[in-house]
Amino acid sequence: MQTSLTVDDVCELVKRQAPMVLLDVRQPEEWDEVRIEGATLVPLAALLDELPKLGLPKDRQVICICRSGRRSSMAAEFLRSQGYPALNMEGGLRQWFIHQNTEGTLSAPEFKRVMTFLGPY
């Protein structure tokens, strides 16, 4: 069973506007600094404690994201155990923004700001 997607895979889904939920499981202060457009913030602790109240659809792919992929991997595993079609985005936001920089969709100053915030692995 597939448990994760690469950043390239997720970028392709976003380009195609595939029906999915991008679920960011970081903390609000992390979200305030940098995020993927169209993502929804649900911190990992809230996801674990309040899943029934969140109204996540079970008929769309849920792609979990965080800074590096660790928290999102836990979130995706938990969601799958609850019957959701959930996958982890490998490498997290660090890889996402490296990809965006490589594709030329991110300015050099913005890339520097983002990577300064996201920090080393």
DSSP secondary structure string for all residues of 84-115: --EEEETTHHHHHHHHHHHHT-S-HHHHHHHH
Q: Is the pLDDT of residue 119 over 80?
A: no
Give the total number of structural domains in the chain. Answer: 1
Nearest to 65 by CA among 112, 13, 104, 101: 13
Q: For 29-65, what is each residue's pLDDT tens digit?
A: 999 988 999 999 999 999 999 999 999 999 999 999 9
Binning pLDDT at 50, 70 and 90, where does residue 112 land?
Answer: confident
Alpha carbon distance 30, 7 (integer Å)? 19
Q: For 64-98, what is each residue's pLDDT tens digit?
A: 999 999 999 999 999 999 999 999 999 999 899 88
Residue reference for tokens 């692995």: 121
Alpha carbon distance 55, 63 (integer Å)? 15
- Packing angle of the helix pair 44-54, 70-81 (nearest 10 deg): 30
Catalytic residues: 66
Binning pLDDT at 50, 70 and 90, where does residue 121 land?
Answer: low
Q: What is the mean pLDDT of residues 11-16?
A: 92
> Which residues constitute the domain of residue 97?
4-118
**What is the structure's pLDDT at 99?**
84
Query: What's 84's domain CATH number?
Result: 3.40.250.10
